[in-house]
Amino acid sequence: MSKSPSRKSEARKADTPRNDFLSNQDMADVMRMAVAKAKEGDARLIRLVELHWRRRDRPIALDMPAVVDARSLAEAHARVIEAATDGKRLTPRQGLAYSTMLAHRRRALELVEIEEDLAEIEEELAQQKAKGRR
């Protein structure tokens, strides 16, 4: 015998808002319209716009080490993960933004190291070439 879903669970599914049918452009259009109506004095839309504005990302001070090498990068990542998972300092989205910045920093550090290695190799080759001419 198959078990049919209860009316309560069906109602809960029907009441669950779906936003997967709205694109980012649709949401931007809705917010522009809401801001325009809020400026005209619509109290409900004033409140909606205010709530949306308050939920935006805000600058966050996070105690981070100077990221100058792999060890300090690992420490910085550990601090970001801790702050994003403690439920108090960073949202997961903010944690991801910090992690993305740290990943870019890692790439920059790698590039500096590669350039230094390349300069060293070029110097050694120049010295070998100069010795060969003597």
Return the structure tokens found at 61.
């001070």
How does DSSP assign 65-114, residue by residue?
Answer: ----SHHHHHHHHHHHHHHHHSSSS--HHHHHHHHHHHHHHHHHHHHHHH
pLDDT of residue 9: 47
pLDDT of residue 56: 67
Report the candidate in 82, 70, 83, 76 with the shortest Cα–Cα distance to residue 110.
Answer: 70
Phi, psi of 87 (to 5 degrees): 75, 10
Determine the length of the chain: 134
Residues of the chain with pLDDT under 50: 1-2, 9, 11-12
Report the candidate in 98, 105, 100 with the shortest Cα–Cα distance to residue 73.
Answer: 105
Give, in order, the Cα–Cα distances in Å from 52 to each of 26, 76, 95: 15, 30, 20
Return the structure tokens found at 35.
């801001």
d(CA 6, CA 122) in angstroms, rounded, equals 74
> Residues 114-126: pLDDT tens digits?
999 999 999 999 9
> Residues 23-36: pLDDT tens digits?
778 878 888 888 89
Write down the pTM of the prediction.
Answer: 0.55
